[in-house]
A and B are shown apart, each in its own frame.
Chain A
Amino acid sequence: MPLNLEPNFHEPGKHYLHGFSPGDEFYELLIKMHRPLSEAESIKVNARLILLLANHIGDLSVLREAMTIATQCATQE
């Protein structure tokens, strides 16, 4: 399965009236998680988060594709 680049945030059993709501909820969780952290702590937490999620995804072809897109963005800067 290729990397999903379409909106995909959701929660089982939860019904959303607006398409943007689950994504906004994710973003709020992310920013709230970082709020009490120092910058150094945030970097560590981000690293752990990437490792956890990468393992959950598991499929190396998907992870490779995500890495490519993430670094493409960086080289455009």
Chain B
Amino acid sequence: MLKTYTYPKFEYRRPEDLDCTTVRRHPVLIVGAGPVGLALAIELRLKKLSVIVIDEDNTVSVGSRGVCYAKRTLEILDRLGVGDRVVEKGVAWNVGRTFFHEDEVYRFDLVTDPDHERPGMLNLQQYYLEEYLVERAQAVGVELRFKQQVLSVDAHEEGATLEVQSPDGRYQISTDWLIAADGARSPIRRALHLDVEGHVFQDRFLIADVLMKAGFPPQRWFWFDPPFHPNQSVLLHRQADDVWRIDFQLGWEADPEVEKQPDRVIPRIRAMLGAEHEFELEWISVYTFQCRRMAQFRHGRVLFVGDSAHQVSPFGARGANSGIQDADNIGWKLDLVLRGAAPQTLLDTYHEERAYAADENLLNSTRSTDFITPKSPISRVFRNAVLELAEHHAFAQRLVNSGRLSVPACYTHSRLNTPDLDAFAGHLTPGTPADDAPLPDGSWLLRQLAGGFTLLYFVDPGRRVDAEIAALTALVDDDISINLVLVAAIGAARSRYDAHHGTLYLLRPDQHVAARWRQMDLTRIRAAVRRACDLH
């Protein structure tokens, strides 16, 4: 097994703290070098903060795990500087096909609106994403401490002090802010005796990474009750390197140890693919999942991100994607608080906005799970009736739920938004992530956003706006700097933003819309920036 990928061994360096007589204090310490912890570390480092990441291991995730990365995640990875690598290696897809017994009953296309740089979804084994993120983190100067385990945490009003076990002995380390990106079983969450509320789903799934040369198109294929795996569901995804990911639903009674044996797995795959396809197994695992979240993601100076804060069922690819959006949400807020530019209460809005997102993810993934795994005979009767009707009728196709795929949450109720004063059509209300659009020079709108607050200024081509630009440029020198980006009010940019000549959108550093206006008013723009920073 494991033929296409060589697991890197990241270098362990003896931590300087071992040789210090006093406990060193750092601004930010992230525990967990998974996709979420690494994304946040890179984000903070790009903002020139010093960042340490501690991880027990010295390699990447074993097996494909996360697999599906949504358009919004790819856009975030672009800003972090790994998007191109991920997209080049991964397999882009937009079409999902759903089968019941032997018949196709439903087909969806994620990008109904073309003209986005990034695809609706991209499949890539999690180990590649982690490898690219580690390399990027090292390149930008994140201090990565591999093979080090947190033994204890003392959280207090000014930060946290941790005891860490390294291969060369124990040391203490102190931090102003502690980020727990340490996964579903979060040792930090446990050490602080914090609860995570929800429940385990009584079902088991076999996942296999299979190496094969198959001519199937890059699409998501989902089967309900197929002849080759009766009464259960099966999911097929194409990944990089001709590795295919197959998820077989097994039911709660299945014995995970028995089901993991290749002599059990191979016949299942052969039944699915038919005798003509040769394949090799790369990785096998059996998993169960939970749907739950912490009541609070912020506990004083300790912040929980990704799986440590919330866990969802895998249907809909809402785990890794929401975790990376957590990092996206918290990075700029932590930066402003650490610089003293914003109050600590700004970090409460991390919980408010991302708990809202987690609830949306939990709701959707729980609904998918209830559709995929009917819990009673009557529930199964309804499920199958939907699938039968879906073959011919649009209303039933809409009800088929094999996973509602990750889309970013819109923080429409966030207190950081400035409500509209002017009338706007379209979906980009305050709180919504900025939409991409092609620009006349062949580049993309989201690529123009540098990472701080940005003011998009829409201008009709050919119209002189020298005086307005001169006035808006002054905002760059504000305490909280605002970058100005001129956008030609034509094409997809015009329609998506419902932009006229002179329309302005204020975007937060995470590219969510903070405010928008039809007329330029520097006082209003500055007030909106202060509001988005929770300054009163």
Does A7 sit within 8 A of B, measured CB to CB?
yes
B393 touches A35 (CB 8 A): no
Q: Residue among B394, B399, B407 with the most chain A CB within 10 A? A: B399
Residues of A within 8 A of B376 (CB): 34-35, 39, 42
A30 touches B382 (CB 8 A): yes
Q: Using an 8 Å CB-CB cutoff, how does the interface string of A35-65 with B read, 1 for contact, 0 for none?
A: 1010100100010000000000000000000
Residues of A within 8 A of B388 (CB): 73, 76-77
Q: Using an 8 Å CB-CB cutoff, how does the interface string of B389-429 with A read, 1 for contact, 0 for none?
A: 10001110011010010010010000000000000000100
- The closest CB in chain B to the CB of A4 belongs to B395
Q: How many residues from B make CB contacts under 8 Å with A?
A: 24
* Interface band, chain A: 20 to 34
Residues of B within 8 A of A8 (CB): 395
- The closest CB in chain B to the CB of A27 belongs to B399
- The closest CB in chain A to the CB of B398 belongs to A7
Stretch at the interface among B363-371, B479-487, B503-511: B363-371
Q: Using an 8 Å CB-CB cutoff, how does the interface string of A11-46 with B read, 1 for contact, 0 for none?
A: 000000111100110111011001101010010001
A23 touches B398 (CB 8 A): yes
A34 to B370: give the CA distance in the assembly, Å: 13
Does A5 sit within 8 A of B, measured CB to CB?
yes
Shortest Cβ gap from B18 to chain A (Å): 51
Residues of B within 8 A of A34 (CB): 376, 378-379, 382
Known: A18-B404, A35-B375, A73-B385. A28 touches B393 (CB 8 A): no
- The closest CB in chain A to the CB of B385 belongs to A73
Residues of B within 8 A of A5 (CB): 393-395
Does B377 sit within 8 A of A, measured CB to CB?
yes
Residues of B within 8 A of A76 (CB): 388
Known: A6-B395, A34-B378, A37-B378. A27 touches B371 (CB 8 A): yes
A24 touches B395 (CB 8 A): no
Does A69 sit within 8 A of B, measured CB to CB?
yes
A26 to B376: give the CA distance in the assembly, Å: 18
Residues of A within 8 A of B395 (CB): 4-8, 23
Residues of A within 8 A of B393 (CB): 5, 69
Residues of B within 8 A of A17 (CB): 410, 427
B389 touches A73 (CB 8 A): yes
Cβ-neighbour of B370 out of A7, A26, A28, A46 (below 8 A) = A28
Known: A5-B395, A19-B398. A31 touches B370 (CB 8 A): yes
- The closest CB in chain A to the CB of B427 belongs to A17
In the complex, besides A17-B410, A26-B399, 13 extra interface pairs with C-beta distance below 8 angstroms are A6-B394, A6-B395, A7-B394, A7-B398, A19-B398, A23-B398, A24-B364, A24-B367, A24-B404, A31-B370, A34-B376, A35-B375, A69-B393
Binding site for B on A (CB under 8 A): 4-8, 17-20, 23-24, 26-28, 30-31, 34-35, 37, 39, 42, 46, 69, 73, 76-77
User: Would you list 16 pairs from A and B whose C-beta atoms are within 8 A, ordered by A residue?
Assistant: A7-B394, A17-B410, A20-B401, A24-B364, A27-B382, A27-B386, A27-B399, A31-B370, A31-B375, A31-B382, A34-B376, A39-B378, A42-B378, A69-B389, A69-B393, A73-B389
Closest 5 CB pairs of A and B: A7-B398, A42-B378, A5-B393, A73-B388, A23-B398
